[in-house]
Amino acid sequence: MTSVAQTPHSHGAVVPKASRAEQFASFDVEAFETPGGREEIWRFTPMRRLRGLHDGSAPATGELTVEVDGPDVTVETVGRDDDRLGAAGTPGDRVAAQAYSSFTTATVLTVPQEVRAGVTTVTLTGPGEGKVAYAHLQVRAERFAEAVVVLDHRGSGTVADNVEILVGDGAKLTVVSVHDWADDAVQVSAHHAKLGRDATLRHHLVSLGGDLVRVSPTAVFAAPGGDAELNGLYFADAGQHIELRTFADHAQPNCKSNVTYKGALQGDGARTVWIGDVLIRAAAEGTETFELNRNLVLTEGARADSVPNLEIETGEIAGAGHASATGRFDDEQLFYLQARGIPEGVARRLVVRGFFHELLMKIGVPEIRERLEAAIEAELEAVGA
Amino acid sequence: MSTLEIKGLHVSVATDETSKEILSGVDLTIRAGETHAIMGPNGSGKSTLSYAIAGHPKYEVTSGEVTLDGEDVLAMSVDERARAGLFLAMQYPVEVPGVSMSNFLRTAATAVRGEAPKLRHWVKEVKEAMAELDIDPAFAERSVNEGFSGGEKKRHEILQLALLQPKIAILDETDSGLDVDALRVVSEGINRVKAGGEVGIMLITHYTRILRHITPDFVHVFAGGRIVESGGSELADQLEEHGYVRFTGKQEPAAIG
């Protein structure tokens, strides 16, 4: 019955040419070659639109303003010499290293041990149109702490930054990173999460605005028993490039990771890229991992790339799988809803809302969920869908 | 009292390059309070008739007309047809992930009735309609048709029929895939709607089985894309006994042995 079918494609377990384990990493920007755009990790990115973040031609001309609103956390502004910095991970590409080499002060946000914190909102405002900023943020949930931290990116300009997320033993941390930039903004960001023993991380990435947004969330396990969920919701409009590169790095036994990314695209030149790397190293017995990417292409002229990479170096795992599908809007769903009297525009919105519903429900912060629902409605109304 | 009139309806389905005619001149008039059984073998075009009336984009009307109380149905969009009073219970109801049944029903009722039903009355109305069809209240919070069994899907089609109260209801093989109990529950649901006397029903079926629960006023045999014989319920009895061989030239039973 389907005239425009979903086109699910299930790859076999894709084993990348170069192992993710061997990817170069350094804090020093000069240790990286300047990428030209053909490298595996850059080949989807329109390099010209990076405004020089990748080749050293974009000195800092402004700052990312950081405001923290949360009663139960401590906030420090620290210098480059603070020896806590860099604990969660090492930059894995030249822009992340550029950010690490270029920031002047960093913000460290700590949830003290055994504290159950309310919602903390960190508002990160861009340097302004035509300006460039480099930034560094570290979020620390100490032993048995429980917290929800919202990183709310807004404003204009060009930004490269690293976010470190340290989840202590037995801690439960939810990070909701909302990238709701103005139309001109360019951001390249790396999130480095490190989980202690029996730690739980719920990482939700929401990318809506900006001209080009490339975020690379990585979860590594420092001890057994960790549980990381990396969720992502993105909506690209005409001309927007949204690139999200997740990496679950299993080097410890009995850890879990679950990656769920869903995107919608509409308008000419709307472009999304999802790269989902999972590496199960030899020591990571008992690993359980699954990753899923779904893209919903709402109009002609939009393109979604979806690349799951799964590397498994031990047979002693609990489970590993992935799924990826990119489909056009399902006309049968539309017909069914319309056949019940529901006008086309309302029906389209119902279907898209339904598509994101599962991910929105996972974000356990009602005010953020409501804001995102409203933002999705606004996106849909913009094209009169 | 409403009337659906189908005159000289020709419908084609577009395949990759060519267009194939499925309906070759259907004439049928259904009035409020009447129940018409459309019976025919597989591939005779029964489902095409239902989809063409509902406005599925895959089917192209090449000639003929369909009117509801004199209004040109073919000029209406799919949702306009539903709001005008047409209802199609589908053979294969579609899954809509992430949209709860309760949200869907309320959105549909709001569209068809022209205003949002008062919440308090609505909750009661849905609850009662679900209970009458032996539907567990928990289904209200599940995604539309997602993971439902065949029988659960069909019950929910009839639930929608009961709530949306159309002028003309087309039931496309609502009986297929139902076990004896589910068939009874679904048939009783249809009979309750029918008992109001205000709806005209087109009951499309391959088998005579459902006609033991729902008595048709007219029976039409469908073959080769049109109605080849019409009669009363005695025609269904003949089909029960002899199958469709007289109409198609090959053995195909209408009764389940």
What per-residue confidence (pLDDT) applies to A11? Answer: 42
Contacts of B77 in chain A (CB under 8 A): 338, 344
pLDDT tens digit sequence for A76-134: 999 999 999 999 999 999 999 999 999 999 999 999 999 999 899 999 999 999 999 99
Question: What's the half-sphere exposure (Cβ side, CA atoms, 13 Å) at A285?
Answer: 2
Residue located via tokens 């990119």: A326
Q: Which of A53, A46, A50, A141 has the alpha carbon at shortest distance from A91? A: A53
pLDDT, greater one: B246 or A11: B246
Contacts of A325 in chain B (CB under 8 A): none
pLDDT tens digit sequence for A176-232: 999 999 999 999 999 999 999 999 999 999 999 999 999 999 999 999 999 999 999
pLDDT, greater one: B200 or B1: B200
Q: How far is CA A137 from CA A215, A245, A253, B186, in A?
A: 14, 19, 29, 60
Backbone angles phi, psi at B130, to 5 degrees: -65, -40
**What's the whole-number mean pLDDT along residues B205-222?**
94
What per-residue confidence (pLDDT) applies to A12? Answer: 46
User: If residue B92 lies in a helix (H) or strand (E), which one and from where to where?
Assistant: none
Q: Which of A94, A120, A117 has the alpha carbon at shortest distance from A107? A: A120
Q: Where are the domains of chain B?
A: 3-248
**Alpha-carbon torsion B211, B217, B221, B227, what sign?**
negative
- Burial of B250 (C-beta count, 10 Å sphere; 0-12/13-18/19+): exposed
pLDDT of B257 > 50? The answer is no
Rounded to whole angstroms, the Cα distance separating B203 from B158 reads 13
What per-residue confidence (pLDDT) applies to A16? Answer: 57
Q: Which of B128, B120, B183, B200 has the alpha carbon at shortest distance from B159? A: B128
The pLDDT confidence band at residue A15, using thresholds 50, 70 and 90, is: low
pLDDT of B183 > 80? The answer is yes
B139-166: burial string, b at 16+ Cβ within 10 Å, e else = bbebbbbeebeebbbbbbbbbbbbbbbb
What per-residue confidence (pLDDT) applies to B67? Answer: 98
User: Does the CB of A201 have a partner CB in chain B at under 8 Å?
Assistant: no
Question: What one-character-per-residue DSSP string does A252-275 give?
Answer: STT-EEEEEEEEEE-STT-EEEEE
What ipTM score was computed for the predicted complex, to two decimals? 0.95
B58–A351 CB contact, under 8 Å: no
**Residue A230: how many CB atoms within 10 A of its CB?**
26
What per-residue confidence (pLDDT) applies to B253? Answer: 74
pLDDT of A6 > 50? The answer is no
Q: Where are the domains of chain A?
A: 10-329
B112–A341 CB contact, under 8 Å: yes
With a pLDDT cut of 90, the percent of chain B lying above it is 84
If one looks up domain B3-248 in CATH, what number appears?
Answer: 3.40.50.300
Q: How far is CA A124 from CA A69, A72, A96, in A?
A: 11, 19, 17
Contacts of B58 in chain A (CB under 8 A): 1, 3
pLDDT of B152 > 90? The answer is yes
Q: Which of A224, A206, A303, A191 has the alpha carbon at shortest distance from A260? A: A206
Q: How far is A84 from chain B (nearest CA, A)?
A: 43
Q: Report the residue of chain A nearest B88, measured CA to CA.
A: A339
Rounded to whole angstroms, the Cα distance separating A15 from A13 reads 6
